[in-house]
Every structure is written in structure tokens, then in C-alpha cells.
Amino acid sequence: MDTLMSGQLLFAALVSGSLYALVALGLNLVYGTLRLLNIAHGDLVMIGAYTAFWMISLFAIPPIISLVLAAALCALLGWAVYAGLFRRMLAKPELAKRVEANSLILFYGISVILQNLAALAFTSTSRGYQYLDTVITWQGISMTGNRLLSLGVATAVCFGALLFLRFHLFGWGLRAVIQRREAAQVVGVNLNRVQLLTICGGFAVAGVAGVLVSMTEQITPFMGFPFTIVAFVVIIIGGLGNIGAGILAGFCLGLVETYGIALTSPGYRSILIYGLFVGVLLVRPEGIFTKAVRS
Amino acid sequence: MKSFGMIIRIALAVFGAAVPFIGSPYLMGVVFQVAMWIALAQSWSMLSATTGYLSLGHAVFYGVGAYVCVLLTGKIPFELALLAAAGSAALFAALVGMPVLRVRGPYFVILTYGLSELVRHIVMRIESALGSFGRMIFDVPATEVLLWWMVGLAVLATLGAYAIRHSRFGAGLAAIREDEVAAETVGVPVTRLKLLAFVASAAIPGAVGALALLRTSYFEPAQAFDPVISFTIVTMALVGGTDTVRGPILGAVGFALLSELLWSSLPQLYMIVLGLTLIVFILFVPRGLSGLFGRIGRAS
Amino acid sequence: MAFLDIKGVSKRFGGLMALNDVTLQVEQGEIFGLMGANGAGKTTLFSVIAGHVAPTAGEVVFDGTRLTGLSPSRICRLGLCRTFQIVRPFAGLTVAENLRVAALYGSARKLSTREIAQVVEEALEAVDLADRGHLDAAQLTLSGQKRLEIARALATGAKLVMLDEVMAGLNPTEVSAMLDTLGRLRTERGLTFVIVEHVIGALMTLSDRILVLDHGERIAFGTPEEIGNHERVAEVYFG
């Protein structure tokens, strides 16, 4: 019981919760504007993680700078995916008709390609590096610098995104597209531009999350998929396309997971996450579905 | 009827092709693989091609079959174990089918994936709690026997897929694919038909999983429920084409042979080719190889 | 006993009373019109009768069988079929295949292959689509797809067909052709229709009796002439 009440566990929960919120934010943005469930989202986290690893190992560039590099790299990838695949797909009526189910399979194909390209290029060996791993103790809570940094950056990006959506003109346009796609176009929102920028932004956020993850966890070509699943759980709980609630749901999942594992054992982590994933999809299929068609 | 003749010919060809290779372990292995993927892709098509509910979780039926088989093998005759494997996979589909099939479109796709992974992790957890990290199986039937069974399953799955498409059942499923609400309105018992199709498409993969397990004579949950199996099935079926029964055969033969070339030396490259082909076909050849050949045939 | 007997049906969606204690009887062989502004509850009533939506209170009895609680497919096999305001063809199937599915699954007993072919053919002819059977349903014009909706209901062997705005979006020529078709179906096949229509002229011409709904409640009931002269209807409906 003592461990459960300790600040130590709460800190761990906040660190993973902020990461989940961040990863889910990217997925939510892309879903909200393009109505595409990007099952390759977690692989962008993997790409961000490798970026940080190679930068620090080869050029001694610290992760704090890699944040920008990974974001740029993933944004570029987003542009390529949008311009190369989806503009084409959305333009063809016979494809657009079945675009939702097909796009999921398509993204799965992209995911498989990314994972195996990484495995081919970097081998399947787990990688890791040390950065800011001195322990700071405050009020009896032991924290490493990298975890504090991760919590800080993830939280800042999440709330930055919220403020941006709330106050910047582009954020308004984006929210308009999420809520009323056709109406937004009528009032002069450039749908193409909003979609392109969102997919770049959503991908970039995942890259940032990858850099943060790499500071504390092992890096492998196949590390991304669990993040995809977590992000799906989060955005379905929070409501698809609902950015603010998604961020909150991310933190909640971090709490549930950390405390759930503390009460059982780490061996149950995957079962817990996949169980939640299947559970939310089963319990709310109508809710999810009606939301998807109404828009 | 023309396509029925085609199926018979393909079935005979698979049989015929298998005969001379008895004795050559390598070629028997290739035929075993080809037959296995045909059986899996055809089974998948019984649900997914007919109703448009794309399952990305068929590995779960394969895995359930393998798991049941490893638990039963040595205790009951091999044929009964196979039947039990198929039966358990079908039963599992029947149990989860009702809630799962209420979920549509992309959510169905990820749900089937998630369900398959959930079961994989649960079985892994059970096995590690039992202190088992992989089970060896002794006393497996001869390779020839397994091969004949697998070829039999491929033929059975193909005939089954054909029969479904050309029956009243298939007409109902097609209506469900086009518009579920309208189908219900004109008297199609949507829920029941979907469930039946789900169960039908699960049974043979269960038996396939059991046979594949006996062939390697080693069970490890992470492999038996490997999501790559699901992905490969979907790719084969979509690349082959889902409009006809020969589509999955074309896809399965093509990729099984490609896998022979690449898998042992460059597995990653094989997966990349798989992914790229899938993307190209979804975007540019939505009707698959089968549609491509059909068009060429008609044009000439 | 009435052919279709709707007894005190209410339907509440959250705080909204979509139908409030609606009672009506439809006799065999008549064309029964439903009128009302948008949101008056007409489509909800259709959905309740056809089994898509469960009523909050009340029950529906058709041809002596209680429908409430049955699935739409079961209700269809009992001989009651609806069409949709926004057409829902099986777009990837041909027109004839659309009807074939309806004949295979909609009829009360199992039909032979020959009977099915005959049902399909008759349904095609009944709505003047005989030369379009081989086309994909998606290739039909809107008017064609509305006819397909009707033909599909016919192919199920329905005794009572509920038509949800089959005239909406059609030009005057198409409307008059549709009026002919429906009149012919009634006299030749003895079918019963319940129709919802925004094209008021058409509704007045076709219907034997009309019920007017407003905000889920019945406000008037009678022959077309009586409805035309009804004060409250004029107020609510014609503004």
C-alpha cells in the first residue's frame, strides 16, 4: 500500500501519461482532419527514437536538438504520405468509397515497410544511450533528469497545441474541419492545406515523442506498435477528433497503466493495454461509428 | 460455371503438382507452404471478400488451432486433434463474433487485430505462468501425411469459398457488403449471416494452424499467433483480387513462391516487398491480379 | 381488425418526443398518406413500424402478428417492407441482383430458382425497369433508383409497402409516371401502401385517407378533401 500512495508512482504515471497524451495527440489530429486511422503512427515514434540515438552516438548531438530534427523528418514523411498516397486515393471515387477500411490496411502496409526498413538498416539489436540520467531527489521522490525533461516537453507540447488550436487562426480552421468538413470549405477554409499541415504536424508530434522515449527506453525497429495501440485507446476513450479530451485521456491511461501494473505484475502490461483496446472498441462501436459517419 | 471449371483445374493442378515431389523434402515444403496460404486466404475471403468486413486478425484462429493441437497431441488420434483444432477456432469465432461484428469499417479492422494480439498475450502469459517457454512435440505424423492433409484443406477451402459465393448465403452476404440496413430491410438476417460467415472463415485456419504446428513440431505462442500471418493473408487476398475465387489462389501462390526466394535469406526485404505490393495494388489495381488477367482476357 | 394497427406508439430520443401516442389503422388495399413538416415524426414512425427503432411505448400489429420486438428482416418476411427516403441500393450489384436478394430472403417461404426468376422479372416490369436489369444499380438515375427501391420491396413479396418520399427530387414527368405506377400496383396486385410525401399534390391525388403529424402528435385525420379544408393543418403545414 505504501508504494501505491507514494509520489514515486505518481511521478512514473505522469511521465508515461504525458507521453501517451503526446503520441495520441498526433494520431487524433490526423484522424480529425483526414478521417484516416494511421496504424503506422507508432512507427513514427520509432523513427524519432532512432534519430535521437544516431545523432547522439555519431555526432554527439543531444536529444534536445534532435527533437527539432525528428520533428522535421517526420513532418517530411507526412508530406510524402499525403502527397504521394492519400491525395491520390481521396481523389478516386471508387477508392474513396472504401477509403476508410482500405486506408487502414494501406497504413499497415506502410508500417510493415517502415519497421522492416529500420530492421534492415539498423539490425534488430536493441539500442540505447545515456543522457541526463543523474538522479534528483525531491520530497523523497527520486527522479532522473531525462524523465523530468520528458514530462516537461510532452506536457508543454500538448498544451501548446491546445492553445494554438484555441487562439491561432489556423487552429480555428482546423477545428472547423474536424467538426464540419463541408461547411468549413464553404466558409473558405482551404481543406487541402489544412489536411497537409495537420498530417505534417501530427507526424512531427510523434517524432518528438520518439525522441523523448529514446532517452529512457530501449530502441528497436518494432518498438512503435505498442504506441499505436496505446494512442488508439486514448483517442477512442477521449472521443475521436476531440483534442483536449484526448490529452486528458492520455494522462488517465498513464495512471491506470502504472497503478494497474503496480497492483499486479509487469507481465500483465500488454494484456491490460490490449484488453482496454478491445474493450473500448466493443463497448462503444455505435458511438464511434455514428461520429464517423455524421461528419 | 466457367470459373467452377477453373477451380477444379487449379485444384487438380495443385494435387498433380504435389505428386512428383513426394520424397523431395524441399519441394514438399514448398507445396506445403503454397497449399497452406491458399487455404488461409480462401478462408479469409469467405468472410472478408463477401461481406467487406476486412479481418486483420485471422492469425488468432490459426493460433487457437495450433494451441489446441499442442494440448491434445499424443492424447487423441491425429485426425481428431485436427478436427478439434478446427472446431475450437470455429467455436472461438462463434463466441466473440456477436460483439465483434457489430463494429464496422476501419474499426472492425483494428478490432480484429487487437483481439488477435490480446489472445496472443494471454496465451503467452498462461504459458509463462506454467513455466513453459515453447513446447516440443514428438511423434508427429509423416511429412507426406501432413502435406496431403494441407492440400486437402486448400481444396476444401477453395470449394467452400466457391460454394458460398454462388449460394443464397453468398447473395445475402453480398447485400450486407453493399448496405447492411437495406439488406436487413429486404429480409436478410444480417446478424446471423455475418456470424455464420465469421465461423465458416475461422474453421479451416484452425486446422491449418494445427498442421503447420505438427510440421515444425514446435509450439511457441509468439509465433503461433504472429500478426504477420494475418497481414500476409490480407495481402495475398487483396493482391490476388477478392472478386473471384481464383484471386486468393493467385495471391497465395505468388507470395508463397516469393517467400521461398527471400524469407530465409532476407526476411525484412520480403516483408518490404509484401507491404509495397499491397500499397500499389490497393491504389492502382483495386481488383487485384485476378481482375488484371480478366481484363486482358476480355480485351483479346 | 385492421391490416396494420398502430396502438398508442410513442418514441422518445433523450428529451425529444419524436412520436407521442400515435394511433392509426390502415385497411388492406388502401393507400394511406402521412403528412407533416420536417421533424414531425413521419420517418420515425416508419422506422418503428419496420423494426429499425424500438418504440418507447405502444405496439404495432400487422396482419394479426405483433411486430414490436421483431427484427426488420423478420418483419419483412411477414410481408411488410419499407423504402428509404435517401435511396439505399446495393450499388455494386446489378439491378436484377438487387431484386434477387430481396426475392431470396424476403419471401415468407422458400422459392424455387424458377419462381425467383419470375418474381425478379415481374418486379422489374412493374416499375418499368425491365430493360435495366443488367446495369449496376449505381448506374441508374435517381428516378431509376427510387423505382428500384419500390421494385425491391415488391420482390420481397410484401403485402404492405411503406414508401418514404419516393417522389422527392423527381421532375414533374417522373412524378406523374410514378403516380401511374403506384396506382397500377394497387389495382393489379392489391397492395397496401403507406406513403410519406412532401409533394403534396401527389399525396392528395394518391391517398384514400391522410394522417397529419406535427411534433410527433396527430393533429388531423381524414380524406384528402377534409385535410385540404382543415384549419389546423393549413396553419401548421401551409404556413
DSSP collapsed to 3 states, chain C: CCCEEEEEEEEEECCEEEEEEEEEEECCCCEEEEECCCCCCHHHHHHHHHCCCCCCEEEEEECCEECCCCCHHHHHHCCEEECCCCCCCCCCCEHHHHHHHHHHHHCCCCCCHHHHHHHHHHHHHHCCCHHHCCCEHHHCCHHHHHHHHHHHHHHCCCCEEEEECCCCCCCHHHHHHHHHHHHHHHHHHCCEEEEECCCHHHHHHHCCEEEEEECCEEEEEECHHHHHHCHHHHHHHCC
B299 within a domain of the structure (yes/no) = no
Contact B172 C101 (CB under 8 A): yes
What is residue A286's predicted lDDT score, i.e. its pLDDT? 44
Q: What percent of chain C has pLDDT over 90?
A: 67
Instruction: Show the CA angle centred on residue C78, arms to residues C73 and C82, nearest 5°.
Output: 60
Statement: residue A135 has pLDDT above 60: yes
Pick the range with the lowest mean pLDDT from A158-162, A186-190, B99-103, B161-165.
A186-190
User: Does 3.40.50.300 match the CATH number of domain C4-238?
Assistant: yes
Positive or negative CA dihedral for C125, C131, C137, C142? Answer: negative
What is residue C33's predicted lDDT score, i.e. its pLDDT? 93
What is residue A191's predicted lDDT score, i.e. its pLDDT? 78
Q: Does B100 touch chain A (CB under 8 A)?
A: yes
Question: Which of C73, C74, C87 is the best substitution to test chain B (most B C-beta atoms within 10 A)?
Answer: C73
Residue C94 backbone phi and psi in degrees, to 5: -75, 165
Question: Which of B166, B178, B185, B287 is the best substitution to test chain C (most C C-beta atoms within 10 A)?
Answer: B185
> Mean of the pLDDT values across residues A74-80?
95
Distances (CA, A) of A48 to A73, A210, A232, B254, C95: 8, 4, 19, 35, 52
- Rounded to whole angstroms, the Cα distance separating B230 from B218 reads 20
Q: Which grid coordinates belong to A281?
A: 472498441
B297 within a domain of the structure (yes/no) = no
What is residue B19's predicted lDDT score, i.e. its pLDDT? 64
Among B18-22, B200-204, C81-85, which range has the highest average pLDDT? B200-204
Find residue C59's DSSP bridge partners. C7
Q: Which grid coordinates belong to C64?
A: 394479426
Higher pLDDT, B295 or A39: A39
With contact defined as 3+ CB pairs under 8 Å, the chains touching C are: B
- Rounded to whole angstroms, the Cα distance separating C209 from C227 reads 9
Residue with cell 460467415: B197
> Mean of the pLDDT values across residues B122-150?
89
Q: How far, in whole angstroms, is CA A57 from its chain's centroid?
A: 25
Residue B178's contacts (CB-CB under 8 Å, 6 or more residues apart) are C89, C90, C91, C92, C93
Nearest to A109 among B52, B54, B278 (CB): B278
B143 within a domain of the structure (yes/no) = yes
pTM recorded for the entire structure: 0.89
Higher pLDDT, B21 or A144: A144
What one-character DSSP code corresponds to residue A267? G
**Structural contact between residues B274 and B230, judged by C-beta atoms closer than 8 angstroms:** no
Q: How far, in whole angstroms, is CA C207 from its chain's centroid?
A: 13
Instruction: Show the CA angle centred on residue A86, arms to residues A93 and A295, nearest 5°.
Output: 65
B295 within a domain of the structure (yes/no) = no
Q: Which grid coordinates belong to B20?
A: 512428383
> Mean of the pLDDT values across residues A102-123?
91
| Residues recorded for chain C | 239
Confidence of residue A293 (pLDDT cuts 50, 70, 90): very low
Residue with cell 468509397: A97
Widest Cα–Cα separation across chain C: 54
**Structural contact between residues C146 and C170, judged by C-beta atoms closer than 8 angstroms:** yes
CA distance B264 to chain A (A): 14
Kindly report, residue by residue over B165-216, the tens digit of the pLDDT: 999 999 999 999 999 999 999 999 999 999 999 999 999 999 999 999 999 9
Characterize the bridge pairing of strands C80-82 and B135-136.
unpaired
**Residue whose C-alpha is closest to residue A191's, from A181, A201, A199, A200:** A181
**Structural contact between residues B121 and A271, judged by C-beta atoms closer than 8 angstroms:** yes
Statement: residue A125 has pLDDT above 80: yes
**Host domain of residue B178:** 2-289
Kindly report, residue by residue over C33-57, the tens digit of the pLDDT: 998 888 888 889 999 999 999 999 9
CA distance C231 to chain B (A): 37
Statement: residue B15 has pLDDT above 80: no
Instruction: Provide the residue type at A68 as one letter.
Output: V
Domains of chain A: 9-283 (1.10.3470)
B296 within a domain of the structure (yes/no) = no
Characterize the bridge pairing of strands C192-196 and C31-35.
parallel
The mean pLDDT value of chain A amounts to 85
What is residue A119's predicted lDDT score, i.e. its pLDDT? 94
Statement: residue A101 has pLDDT above 70: no
- Rounded to whole angstroms, the Cα distance separating C39 from C116 reads 39
Higher pLDDT, A264 or B64: B64
Q: What percent of chain A has pLDDT over 90?
A: 41
What one-character DSSP code corresponds to residue A84? I
3-class SS of residue B101: coil
Contact B179 C100 (CB under 8 A): no
Instruction: Provide the residue type at A15 as one letter.
Output: V
Kindly report, residue by residue over C101-145, the tens digit of the pLDDT: 999 999 988 899 999 999 999 999 999 999 999 999 999 999 999
Q: Does B238 touch chain A (CB under 8 A)?
A: yes
- Rounded to whole angstroms, the Cα distance separating C67 from C78 reads 9
CB count within 10 Å of CB A208 equals 26
Q: Which grid coordinates belong to C18?
A: 419524436
List b or e across C36-50, with b for residues whose CB sees 16 or more CB atoms inside 10 angstroms: beeebbbbbbbbbbb
**Structural contact between residues A55 and A66, judged by C-beta atoms closer than 8 angstroms:** yes
Contact C101 B174 (CB under 8 A): yes
Question: Which of C75, C93, C104, C148 is the best substitution to test chain B (most B C-beta atoms within 10 A)?
Answer: C104
What part of B 259-298 touches A (C-beta under 8 Å)?
A: 266, 268-269, 271-272, 274-276, 278-279, 282-283, 286
Q: Taking CB atoms and an 8 Å cutoff, what residues of chain A touch B230?
A: none
Higher pLDDT, A66 or B3: A66
* Count of CB pairs separated by less than 8 Å, A with B: 122
Q: Taking CB atoms and an 8 Å cutoff, what residues of chain B touch A289?
A: 103-105, 107
Q: Does C97 touch chain B (CB under 8 A)?
A: yes
Give the count of domains, chain B. 1
Residue B295's contacts (CB-CB under 8 Å, 6 or more residues apart) are none
Q: Does B126 touch chain A (CB under 8 A)?
A: no
CA distance C232 to chain B (A): 35
Statement: residue B298 has pLDDT above 50: no
**Structural contact between residues C219 and C236, judged by C-beta atoms closer than 8 angstroms:** yes
Statement: residue A17 has pLDDT above 90: yes
Nearest to C156 among B171, B178, B186 (CB): B186
Q: Taking CB atoms and an 8 Å cutoff, what residues of chain B touch A94?
A: 286
- Rounded to whole angstroms, the Cα distance separating A288 from A37 reads 13
Residue C210 backbone phi and psi in degrees, to 5: -130, 140
| Residues recorded for chain B | 300
Q: Which grid coordinates belong to C180?
A: 401511374
3-class SS of residue B76: strand
B218 within a domain of the structure (yes/no) = yes
The mean pLDDT value of chain C amounts to 91
Residues of chain A contacting B, Cβ within 8 Å: 37, 39, 85, 88-89, 94-95, 98, 100-106, 108-113, 115-117, 119-120, 229, 232, 267-268, 270-271, 274-275, 277-278, 281-282, 285-286, 288-289, 292
Among A31-40, B7-16, C100-109, which range has the highest average pLDDT? C100-109
Residue C19's contacts (CB-CB under 8 Å, 6 or more residues apart) are C9, C10, C11, C41, C44, C45, C48, C55, C216
What is residue B3's predicted lDDT score, i.e. its pLDDT? 60
B281 within a domain of the structure (yes/no) = yes
Q: Where are the alpha helices (DSSP H) in chain A?
A: 2-5, 7-34, 41-59, 63-81, 87-91, 93-97, 99-122, 145-167, 169-179, 181-186, 191-214, 224-238, 243-263, 269-283, 285-294
Q: Taking CB atoms and an 8 Å cutoff, what residues of chain A touch B118?
A: 271, 274-275, 277-278
Burial class (CB in 10 A: 0-12, 13-18, 19+), A293: exposed
Contact A120 B103 (CB under 8 A): no
Q: Which grid coordinates belong to B251?
A: 495471391
Kindly report, residue by residue over B50-109, the tens digit of the pLDDT: 999 999 999 999 999 999 999 998 889 999 999 999 999 999 999 999 999 999 888 899
